[in-house]
């Protein structure tokens, strides 16, 4: 889906930018020129960026918990062996 018609920026480009570390609309404007012409896409672009960042954080936390559980399990197996 094209989010910014003026600059031909798709939802997937915004998601890729988020995965590359973009966290704010200012950074997104600098990277992709989103919202730098008519500005009508800014709200939608902000929403997509925020949702993607939240999903990444949730996945990161889940991964961190799994890693911690794995370390605890490994440690416990080492103690009882
Ligand atoms: S639609 Fe994005 S600046 Fe116009």
Domain borders along the chain are 2-80
CATH code given to domain 2-80: 1.10.10.1100
Closest atom, ligand 1, to C-alpha of 42: 2
- Distance (angstroms) between ligand 1 centre and the Cα of 56 equals 26
Is the model's pLDDT at 57 over the cut of 90?
no
Residue 80's pLDDT is what?
Answer: 57
Residue 61's pLDDT is what?
Answer: 85
Instruction: Please check whether residue 48 is in contact with residue 15, taking contact to mean a CB–CB distance below 8 angstroms.
Output: yes
- Distance (angstroms) between ligand 1 centre and the Cα of 27 equals 16
CA nearest 4: which of 30, 53, 43?
43
- Distance (angstroms) between ligand 1 centre and the Cα of 79 equals 60
The model's pLDDT over 3-54, given as tens digits with 9 standing for 90+, comes to 999 999 999 999 999 999 999 999 999 999 999 999 999 999 999 999 999 9
């Amino acid at each position: 889906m094209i989010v910014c018609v003026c600059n031909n920026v798709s939802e997937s480009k915004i998601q890729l930018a988020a995965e590359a570390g973009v966290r704010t609309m200012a950074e997104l404007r600098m990277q992709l020129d989103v919202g730098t012409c008519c500005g009508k896409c800014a709200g939608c672009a902000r929403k997509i960026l925020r949702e993607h960042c939240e999903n990444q954080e949730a996945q990161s936390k889940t991964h961190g918990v799994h890693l911690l559980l794995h370390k605890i399990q490994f440690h416990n197996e080492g103690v009882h062996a």
